[in-house]
Structure 1
C-alpha cells in the first residue's frame, strides 16, 4: 500500500505509544517493543509501512544525536586516559569475538567468506544499546561508564576499518590508487577533524554562544547545526558520521553550556531513536526466520556468555576489580548496529548471500533482546523494572 510519510509517522508513533504502554505494564524493555512493532508493520508482515529505507535513513540521525550527547558528557582528559588504557583490551577482545563467530558460522556450513564476514560482525558491541542503558546523569561520570564508553569508541574505530576493508574487497572496479586512498583518508582525517573541531569551538562557537546566550532558540539551532556539520565533515574524510558527532560533543564538553544543550536535545534524540529500532524490525525478512533462527540464536547466546567472560579477564590486566569487569562485560554483551552495516554492505557487494546477511541481522536483534534483559535486571539503568535499579 502507498502511504505518505505523515501516515507512516502516525502508524509508527501511535503504534509505539500503544506497545510502550503494554511493555511498561508487563515490565518489558521498550527497545524490544519498538523492534517488534517494526517487524509487525513492515513490508514482511502487515505491510503498513512500505518505505522502511527512508525511515532507516532518518533514524540514523538518532544515532548521530546520541553520540553527540554522549560527547557532551565526556571530559577530553578523562577520555584520552581511558582510550590509552583500554586500546589493547578492545583489540584483543575483538579478535577473540571474530574467531568464535567464524568457527560457529563455518560449523553451520557457510562459505569461508561468509564465515569471515559473520565473524567480523561479532567483533563489536552496540553503542546505541549500551549508551541507552547507561544512567545519563550518573554513570557517565563514574569509572564504569568511562570504561564502557572508551571500549565502544575503540570498537567504532575498528568497525570503520573493517567496513573499509570490506568495501575495498568487494569493489573490484576501484583502481589501486583509489583503494589505497580509502585507507589513508581516515588516518589523515581523524586528527584533522579533532584539531579543527576544538579550534572552531574555542575561537568561534563559544564566542557566538556567549554573545547570544539569552536566545534559547539560537542555542538550540547552533548546537544542532554544529553536530550535523561535524558529522558531515567526518563522512567526507572517510570516517563515520557518528564519530564526527561524538567529536563535536567532546569539543563542547569543557564549556558549562554543554549540559544545557544535552538536556534540550534529549527529546529530539529519542524521537529519532524510536525510528531506528522500528527500522531494524521492519527491515528483517520474516520469511527467512525459520532458516536462520538456529545459528542466530546460538551466536547471540554465545555473545552474551563469551563477551562478559572475555572482558572480565582482559580488564583484570588493567587492574579492574571483579564487579566492575563483569558489569562492563555484560553491558557490552550484545552485537553492534555496525554488524547490521557490515551485513548490508557485504550483501550489496555480493560477498555474502541473503541468508548469511539475515543470520547477522537476526543475531543482532536477539542479542539486543538478551543483553537488554540482563542489564535491566542486574545493573542501574534508565528503564529498569526495579525502582532500586532505575537511574536517569
Structure 2
C-alpha cells in the first residue's frame, strides 16, 4: 500500500489517463474512465486509497461543490422561455414517469422505502454534461431535437435543485410539518437572495473584475466557496450554497467566460470524486447487485426514450425529432451520485445504493453514447418499423443559427475602423472582444457582440464560425491568434483569415496557422506617412488638418460602425 498522498494521486491519475486513452479509442465519455479507474484503484483490485481516505473525501467534496456551482451557473432560464411550454411538459412528464415506475420497480425487488425513493429519483435525471458535449460534437445543439433536449435538461436541473433542498432540509425524525414550513421559508429566503444579489451586487462587481481574466477567475472561486460557506453557516447545506452561488452569477453577461475559467478546476476535482465513487465497488457485493443494475439499466435505456417519444409525438413533433430527443436522454446523471451521497450522509439510506447506481451509470452512459453519436443511422434503421404506422403527419422546420459574413476579433484601436467599413458596405458582421465596456456599448448600439477569450476553445465553439466568409483579428498577441486561426481552419478551409502583428517575429507562425494575410502596423504606418510626404504639401496647415481629422476619428470609435443588418 502507498502511504504518501502525493504518490497516491500521481498513481491514480496515471491509471485514469491510461483508461482514458482506451475510452477515447472507444469514443466514450471520460466519465467512464474515471469510474473504471476508481474500480481498479479500489479494494476490488489494487486497493490504493485506503490510507488517504480523509484527504480524498475532502477533494471529492470540493468536486461536488464545484460541480453544483457550474450547474447553477449554467442554468439558462432564457432557454426555457425561448422554447415555451414544450420543455416544461416533457421535463415534468419524464421526471414523474421515471420516478414513479422506477420506485414501483424497486419496491417489487424488495428494496426498503427510503432506498427505493432515493434510487428512483437518482435514476430520473439525464447527464447534462454528456448530452451537451455529444450534441456539440455533432453540431446538433441548434437543431430542433437538440434545442428541446437541452431545454429538457434545464427543467431537470430545476427539479434537481428543488429535490436537493428537500433532501437537505427534511430529517428522519418527527416534526414533519415544522420541517416543511422551514423548507418553504428557506426557498423564499434563497429566492430573494438570488434576485437581490444578481440584480444589484453582481453587475457592479463584475464590471470591475472582468477586466482581468486572472482576477475574474480568483473572484469566481472566492464567490463560489464564500457564498457556499456563508449559507452553510446560516443553516443551509454546502450543496445548496454552491448552487445558489452559481445562480447569482448565471444571469451575468460574463457567464460563459466565468464557466470556461472554472471548468478545468472543476474537472480535476470531479475526476477525484468519480474515482472515489468507483473505488467503493467491492468484489463481495458485485455478485449480488449486478442483476439489479442490469434491470434498472434496461429500464432507463427503454423507458426514458419511450416516454419522451410519446410526449413529443403528443405535442406534434415529427417521429425523427421525437425519437432523437428520446434516445439522447437515455442515461443517468452525475447528479444521481451527488443525491445518493447526500442521502447517505443524512442517514436516509445506508445500503448498496451507490454501487448499484454505479453499475447503471456504466451501462447506460456507454450504451447511450454510441446511440447519440449514431442516432441518425439508428433512426434510419428503424424507419421501416415507424412507417408501419402510416405517414408522419407532423412537420417541423429546422431553425438555423444566426450567421455573420465577417467576425471582427478585437474592437479597440483597429477593429472599430474595420467595423465602420463593413457597415458602409452593408455586410453583416459581429464583434468579439474581451472588454466588458466595449461589449456593453456595442450591444446598446445594435451591433452583434460576444464577450469572451479567444484562447478558450469552448468559447470559440459557441460562435457561428463554420460558415463565416472572413475573420479579421486585431488582437496583438500572436498565441491568441494562432489558437483562433487553427480552430477556424479546422472547421472551415475557405474562410479568409486576416491577422495583426506589431513585429515580424511570429509572422511565419501565423501563416502556418492558416492566415491569408497578416497586417503589420508599423509597415502600414510607414506607407501612410510616405503617401502624406509624396502627396501633400509640407506646410503647418497640412499637419494641422491631419490632427483635426485624427481627433474626429478617435471620437467616432464608439459612435460608428453600427450594424444596419439585423
TM category (shorter chain) comes to 0.7 to 0.9
1:15 matched residue in structure 2: 15
1:94 matched residue in structure 2: 95
Q: Which secondary structure state, in structure 1, belongs to the residue aligned with residue 110 of structure 2?
A: coil
1:200 matched residue in structure 2: 201
230-239 vs 144-153, which moves further: 230-239
2:484 matched residue in structure 1: none
CA apart distance, 1:46 = 1.3
2:47 matched residue in structure 1: 47
2:287 matched residue in structure 1: 290
Q: Hey, what's the Cα distance between the residues in 2 that align with 1:115 and 1:265?
A: 35
2:63 matched residue in structure 1: 59
Q: Hey, what's the Cα distance between the residues in 1 that align with 2:196 and 2:90?
A: 26
CA apart distance, 1:307 = 0.4
Q: Hey, what's the Cα distance between the residues in 1 that align with 2:123 and 2:195?
A: 29
Assess, with a 3 A threshold, how the Cα gap between structure 1 residues 26 and 325 changes in structure 2: closer, same or farther: closer
CA apart distance, 1:26 = 4.7
Cα deviation, 1:157-204, whole Å, max 9, x if unaligned, reads 323443454556642166853452034312441353144223323233
2:33 matched residue in structure 1: 33
The yes-or-no answer on 1:378 pairing with 2:375 is yes
Q: Is the 8 A contact 1:124 1:336 kept in 2?
A: yes
Q: Is the 8 A contact 1:197 1:251 kept in 2?
A: yes
CA apart distance, 1:19 = 1.8
Q: Is the 8 A contact 1:292 1:359 kept in 2?
A: yes
CA apart distance, 1:293 = 0.7
The yes-or-no answer on 1:3 pairing with 2:3 is yes
- Normalised by the length of structure 2, the TM-score is 0.57
Q: Is the 8 A contact 1:133 1:375 kept in 2?
A: yes
Q: Hey, what's the Cα distance between the residues in 2 that align with 1:268 and 1:378?
A: 32
Q: Hey, what's the Cα distance between the residues in 1 that align with 2:74 and 2:161?
A: 19
Q: Is the 8 A contact 2:34 2:271 kept in 1?
A: yes
Tell me which stretches of 4 or more aligned residues in structure 1 moved more than 6 Å: none
CA apart distance, 1:326 = 2.5
192-201 vs 229-238, which moves further: 229-238
The yes-or-no answer on 1:327 pairing with 2:324 is yes
1:156 matched residue in structure 2: 157
Q: Hey, what's the Cα distance between the residues in 1 that align with 2:200 and 2:68?
A: 21
92-101 vs 269-278, which moves further: 269-278
Q: Flag the structure with higher helix content.
A: 1
2:213 matched residue in structure 1: 216
Q: Hey, what's the Cα distance between the residues in 2 that align with 1:234 and 1:137?
A: 40
TM alignment of 1:1-392, pairs within 5 A: 1=1, 3-50=3-50, 51=53, 52-64=56-68, 66-67=70-71, 70=74, 74=76, 77-82=78-83, 84-135=85-136, 143-166=144-167, 170-172=171-173, 176-209=177-210, 213=211, 215-229=212-226, 240-241=240-241, 243-252=243-252, 255=253, 257-378=254-375
Q: Is the 8 A contact 2:190 2:244 kept in 1?
A: no
Q: Which has the larger radius of gyration?
A: 2
Question: RCO (CA 8 Å, sep 6+): is it higher in 1 or 2?
Answer: 1
Q: Is the 8 A contact 1:29 1:373 kept in 2?
A: no
Q: Is the 8 A contact 1:134 1:145 kept in 2?
A: yes
1:385 matched residue in structure 2: none
Q: Hey, what's the Cα distance between the residues in 2 that align with 1:148 and 1:233?
A: 34
Q: Is the 8 A contact 1:32 1:369 kept in 2?
A: yes
Q: Hey, what's the Cα distance between the residues in 1 that align with 2:375 and 2:138?
A: 19
Q: Is the 8 A contact 2:289 2:356 kept in 1?
A: yes
Cα deviation, 1:270-304, whole Å, max 9, x if unaligned, reads 32332233233123334211111111111111101
Assess, with a 3 A threshold, how the Cα gap between structure 1 residues 278 and 228 changes in structure 2: closer, same or farther: same
1:387 matched residue in structure 2: none
Assess, with a 3 A threshold, how the Cα gap between structure 1 residues 266 and 165 changes in structure 2: closer, same or farther: closer
Q: Flag the structure with higher strand content.
A: 2
Cα deviation, 1:319-359, whole Å, max 9, x if unaligned, reads 44333332332222112333334433444555445144533
Assess, with a 3 A threshold, how the Cα gap between structure 1 residues 246 and 134 changes in structure 2: closer, same or farther: farther
Unaligned runs of 5+ in 2: 378-457, 459-489, 492-566
Unaligned runs of 5+ in 1: 383-389
Q: Is the 8 A contact 1:66 1:128 kept in 2?
A: no
Q: Which secondary structure state, in structure 2, belongs to the residue aligned with residue 122 of structure 1?
A: helix
Q: Is the 8 A contact 1:35 1:281 kept in 2?
A: yes
Q: Hey, what's the Cα distance between the residues in 2 that align with 1:113 and 1:261?
A: 38
Cα deviation, 1:53-92, whole Å, max 9, x if unaligned, reads 2332132245246436635xx5x53343447542232222
Q: Hey, what's the Cα distance between the residues in 2 that align with 1:285 and 1:182?
A: 37
CA apart distance, 1:232 = 5.1
Q: Which secondary structure state, in structure 2, belongs to the residue aligned with residue 48 of structure 1?
A: coil
Assess, with a 3 A threshold, how the Cα gap between structure 1 residues 232 and 78 changes in structure 2: closer, same or farther: farther
Cα deviation, 1:189-238, whole Å, max 9, x if unaligned, reads 135314422332323322443xxx2x432233233334444555676666
Q: Is the 8 A contact 1:55 1:279 kept in 2?
A: no
CA apart distance, 1:240 = 2.6
- Normalised by the length of structure 1, the TM-score is 0.79
Alignment RMSD (CA, Å)? 3.5
